[in-house]
Each structure stands twice: as C-alpha cells, then as structure tokens.
Amino acid sequence: MTTPTPTTDGSGSGLRRVGLYTTLVALALIFLVPLVWMVITSLKTYTAAQQIPPSWLPNPIAGYGYEQILNNSANPVLRWFLNSMVAATLHALLVLVTASMAAYSLARLRFRGRGVTFALVVGTLFIPPTSLLIPNFLIVDQLNWIDTLAVIVVPGAASAFGVFFLRQFFLSLPNELEEAATLDGANQWQIFYKVVLPLSKPALATLAVLSFLTNWNDFLWPIFVLFSPEKLTLPPGLGLLQGSYVTDYPVIMAGAVLASVPVLILFVLAQRHIIQGVSRSGLKG
C-alpha cells in the first residue's frame, strides 16, 4: 500500500497499525494524565486530596479549591489573573506594532544604515536574555517602573525575534501589489497599513499568540520586579500560593488550572498557527 509520505512503510499492515496506535496512545497518556490530574485535584476537598490511595474521581466534586483562592484577600488570584490578562494583551499589541513597523522598514524600504541595524537586532538574538537581567533591573528601577504594569508589558517587547520573524515574512510578499499601490498614489504608510499588514495576517496572528504566551508564562522577571500582592501576575502569584498552602493541593491546583485555561484555549484555537510559527522560526533564514 502506498501512502503520500515516504516514511510510512508498512503502515498498511494491520498489526503494525495496532502497534502504531498503541504507542501513540501510551505517549498521549503520559502527556495528558498529569494535566488531567491537575484538574481532578482542583475539584477535590482537602481531605479527599490527602487520601491514600488517591481516588481517580473527585467525589463529591468540590468547589473548595476555587473558593479558597477566589475569596482570599491575602492571595487575590482573580486580581493576578486580570493583571496577567491585561499585561499579556498590551505586551502582544506593543510587540505587533513596533516589530511590524520595524520589520517593514528593514524588509521593504531602502535607507542608509539598514544593514547595520538589522545585524545589530539579529546579533542580540544570540545573547541569553538572563545575562541582561541585572542591568535591566537597574534600568526599570531608574525609570521608577518597579511594581507597575509597565515593567511587565514593556521591557520584553523589544523583540528581536519578532522583527526577524516578520521581516522574513514581508520579504516573501510579491512586489507587484506595492507597485500598483504606488501608481495609485499611496505613500509608504498607506502601503504598509492597507497592503502589507492585511496580507500578513497569519504571521501577525502567530507573533501575537507567541508573544501573549511568553508574557503570560513569564516567571523569572516578574518575581524580581513585582512586590505588592495586588500587583503580581499569575506566575509569581502561584509561587506565593504554594508558600501559603504548602500541602493544600486542591487550592494550589485550582490556581494552576486558572493559569492554564486561557493559554490552553488559545492553543486549541490557534494550534496550527503556533505550531507553524514554531517550526518556521526555527528553520527558515
């Protein structure tokens, strides 16, 4: 039996097919069971979660974990959730606007200093961001941004990756469209806004989703620049939660579920874009 992909040798034989699916399902269980266990535990009572051996189904289904985190003023999880949502959204927008404009300039305009600018931007891709942590801390300290929304939104938005990624995409667009627009009297801003951006929706969506995910999940930076309980984002907040509910796993898991749900929904909706974005960012150019 022939199949389109070259490595499908023998997938026609029934026995091999059974073997393939057995492997696939076993692996899927390894990837999914921990996540399912997180949700199950978040729906248990404290005593049910302490039970040995543990039960697979929460019986009864308890809102205990969620009640604890939603009604506790010392750990305002809902507030952290909103902070994360606002910060990650603004961050993604800021990346989109700045990176798309810069990438347009670097991909499709000709000017003095273009080569140097591009080399500089790409060069910083090779510097591990963690090695700039201390100086960046001093800079945001000087700006009086410690413990503010700006400190989460802005510094990471200088995305060399975003510029590089969009530039590659813009380079692949056909020239004729721009030429036609120029003949119609459009200036560069209009070409950018009315021709290039609409044609780049898939790339822009990918970058937006990846930027949102990165910002939503960031842990190292927020734990050092946010202090007040009401200013935290979810990742450092979860750390705090673990500290105050040491072994109360339903509460901790409820927090983890809250932090996971938005990104898992985003992933399901944008799965193809994310996966394509990842593979493209790795390979081309």
Partner 1 sequence: MADVIEVGAARGDAPPPAANAARRAASAGRTRRATPYLFLAPYLVLFGVFGLLPIVLGLWLSVHQWDFQLPNRPFVGLDNYKQLFSSDSAIYGDWWQSVRATAIFTVLSVPLLVVVPLGLALLLNRSFPGRTFFRAVYFAPYVLGVAVIGLLWRFLLDANLGLVNRLLGVVGLPSDTPWVTNMPWAWISLVGVTVWWTSGFNAVIYLAGLQDISPELYEAARVDGANAWQRFRNVTLPGLRPVLLFVITTTVLASANMFGQSFLITQGTPGTETRTVVWFIVEEGLRNNNAGRAAAMSIVFALLLAVVSIANFRLFRYRED
Cis peptide upstream of residue 34 (ω within 30 degrees of 0): no
Check residue 74 for interaction with partner 1 (CB under 8 A): no
Check residue 158 for interaction with partner 1 (CB under 8 A): yes
State which of residues 61, 82, 171, 177 lies at the interface with partner 1 (CB under 8 A).
171
Check residue 23 for interaction with partner 1 (CB under 8 A): yes
Alpha-carbon span 146 to 213, nearest angstrom: 22
> Any idea which residue has 């809102």 for tokens?
63
Stretch that binds partner 1, among 57-65, 68-76, 197-205, 241-249 (CB under 8 A): 241-249
Check residue 264 for interaction with partner 1 (CB under 8 A): yes
Check residue 18 for interaction with partner 1 (CB under 8 A): no
Task: Report the nearest approach of partner 1 to the CB of residue 82 (Å).
Answer: 17
Check residue 242 for interaction with partner 1 (CB under 8 A): yes
Task: Report the nearest approach of partner 1 to the CB of residue 60 (Å).
Answer: 20
Opening angle at CA 196, ends 191 and 199, nearest 5: 140
State which of residues 200, 218, 226, 273 lies at the interface with partner 1 (CB under 8 A).
218
Check residue 14 for interaction with partner 1 (CB under 8 A): no
Check residue 202 for interaction with partner 1 (CB under 8 A): no
Task: Report the nearest approach of partner 1 to the CB of residue 66 (Å).
Answer: 15
Check residue 128 for interaction with partner 1 (CB under 8 A): yes
Q: What b/e sequence results for 15-29 when a residue is b if at least 16 CB atoms lie within 10 Å of its CB, and e otherwise? A: eeeeeeeeeeeeeee
Check residue 208 for interaction with partner 1 (CB under 8 A): no
The residue type found at 229 is: P
Q: What b/e sequence results for 86-119 when a residue is b if at least 16 CB atoms lie within 10 Å of its CB, and e otherwise? A: ebbbbbbebbbeebbebbbbbbbeeeeeeeeebe
Segment 80 to 109, residues that bind partner 1, using CB under 8 A:
94, 97-99, 101-102, 104-106, 108-109
Segment 28 to 57, residues that bind partner 1, using CB under 8 A:
28, 30-35, 37-38, 41, 49-50, 52-54
- 13, with CB counted inside 10 A (0-12, 13-18, 19+), is exposed
- 142, with CB counted inside 10 A (0-12, 13-18, 19+), is exposed
Binding residues for partner 1, total number by CB under 8 A: 109
Please say which residue, 70 or 186, places its beta carbon nearer to partner 1: 186
Please say which residue, 61 or 114, places its beta carbon nearer to partner 1: 114
Check residue 168 for interaction with partner 1 (CB under 8 A): no
Check residue 189 for interaction with partner 1 (CB under 8 A): yes
User: In Å, what is the CA distance from 123 to each residue of 119, 127, 136, 150, 229?
Assistant: 6, 8, 18, 26, 37
